[in-house]
Amino acid sequence: MQVITLGTGCPLPDPDRAGPATLVRTAGLNLLFDCGRGVLMRAAAVPVGPSGFTVVFLTHLHSDHVTDLNDIITMQWATSMAASPLRIVGPVGTAAFVDRTLAMLQDDIGYRVTHHADLNWEPMVEVTEVTDGVAWEADGVRVLAEPTDHRPVHPTIGYRIESEGAVVAIAGDTKPCDGLDRLCADADLYVQTVVRRSAIEAFPIPRLVDVLDYHSDLAEAAGTATRNRVGTLVLTHPVPPPPSGSDLAAEWVAEAAAGFAGAVVLADDLQVFDLSS
Ligand SMILES: [Zn+2]
Ligand SMILES: [Zn+2]
């Protein structure tokens, strides 16, 4: 199993970090988790094309995590030689969100169907909404979902991928909670969106300080990793984002490592994690 952090950004635009998106490659499948800003650009570097995603999983419907779903829907459709559905799995509310996205795309869909004689179908999507339990299963790969705590954003879910003797937890935005612990139990790799409390509290801007309410800070991510005996803690979606490879980035890792004895990595875009059983 291979995990690639396609995009490690947050809502704040950053020249080096695309929006949140993580690709899990296993058993010949490409499972995408969230689809933030620039996801198809980063996937092209792997390379995985717009039709290459087996399933798109969403953790929640905050714009930074789903802003390029419309791009995936459009390009999966417009580059396919035959009608084939895009499979999307997400929390309750995903079906309505996808319907509204398709409504937004209606003009473009009309332009392309009118222009291309061999494109005589509209985008097809298959949406599954999940709360907990098995979210998707095929070819020896099992993806489990659990509710997470990103209130007032609700409902939100995280995922646990079990395949080829390895376990990966992809948390999304969440505070520590029981659902997150179940996702992370004995996981080889735990990918957590994080914020740095001291850096945020240094800027008394209410709208920035608010993000502390519903994200894991570094100590909380480390606590979740320790409590659940994970192998490697991967920090992503850092707020505020430190420059890659900087002393500041090293401080983030050191702060998390103070509460977790395993490996800690502050991920960059397109960083590859190879897991063997
Ligand atoms: Zn986010
Ligand atoms: Zn969020």
**pLDDT digits 0-9 by tens, 112-154:** 999 999 999 999 999 999 999 999 999 999 999 999 999 999 9
Q: Is 64 a catalytic residue?
A: yes
Instruction: Answer yes or no: are the C-beta atoms of 209 and 197 closer than 8 Å.
Output: no
Report the alpha-carbon distance of residue 30 to residue 2 in Å, rounded: 10
Measure 272 CA to ligand 1 centroid, in angstroms. 21
Q: What's the gap in Å between 94 CA and the centre of ligand 2?
A: 14
Compute the distance from residue 62 Cα to the ligand 1 centre, in Å: 7
Instruction: Please provide the average confidence, as pLDDT, over all residues in the chain.
Output: 96
- pLDDT band at residue 210 using 50, 70 and 90 as cut-offs: confident
| pTM more than 0.85 | yes
The whole-number average pLDDT for the span 258-265 is: 98
Distance CA 126, CA 84 (A): 10
Confidence at residue 277, expressed as pLDDT on a 0 to 100 scale:
59
Percent of the chain with pLDDT over 90: 94
Containing H/E element for 234?
A: strand 232-239
Which ligand ends up closest to the CA of 237? 1
Which ligand neighbours the alpha carbon of 61 most closely? 2
* pLDDT cut 70: percent of the chain above it: 100
Ligand 2 center–CA 62 separation, angstroms: 5
| 145-194 pLDDT tens trace | 999 999 999 999 999 999 999 999 999 999 999 999 999 999 999 999 99
Cα separation, 77 vs 84, in Å, equals 8
Ligand index nearest the alpha carbon of residue 213: 2
CA of 119 to the centre of ligand 1 (A): 35
Distance CA 214, CA 236 (A): 15
- Inform me whether the pLDDT recorded for 255 exceeds 80: yes
How many CA atoms within 13 Å lie on the side-chain side of 125?
Answer: 25
Confidence bin at 107 (pLDDT 50/70/90): very high
- Selecting among 34, 64, 173, 217, the annotated active-site residue is 64
pLDDT at 170: 98
Domain range for 250 is: 2-274
How distant, in Å, are the alpha carbons of 61, 68, 192, 233 from that of 215? 15, 22, 9, 16
DSSP 108-120: HHHHHHHH-TT--
**pLDDT tens across 50-79, in order?**
999 999 999 999 999 999 999 999 999 999
pLDDT, tens digit, for every residue of 7-53?
Answer: 999 999 999 999 999 999 999 999 999 999 999 999 999 999 999 99
CATH number where 185 lies: 3.60.15.10
Going by the DSSP 8-state scheme, the letter that residue 183 receives in this structure is: H
Total tally of structural domains belonging to the chain = 1
CA of 238 to the centre of ligand 1 (A): 9
**Per mean pLDDT, which range of 23-27, 91-95, 106-110, 210-214 is the poorest?**
210-214
DSSP 8-class letter at 17:
B
Say which ligand is closest to the CA of 238.
Answer: 1
Q: Is pLDDT larger for residue 209 or for residue 134?
A: 134
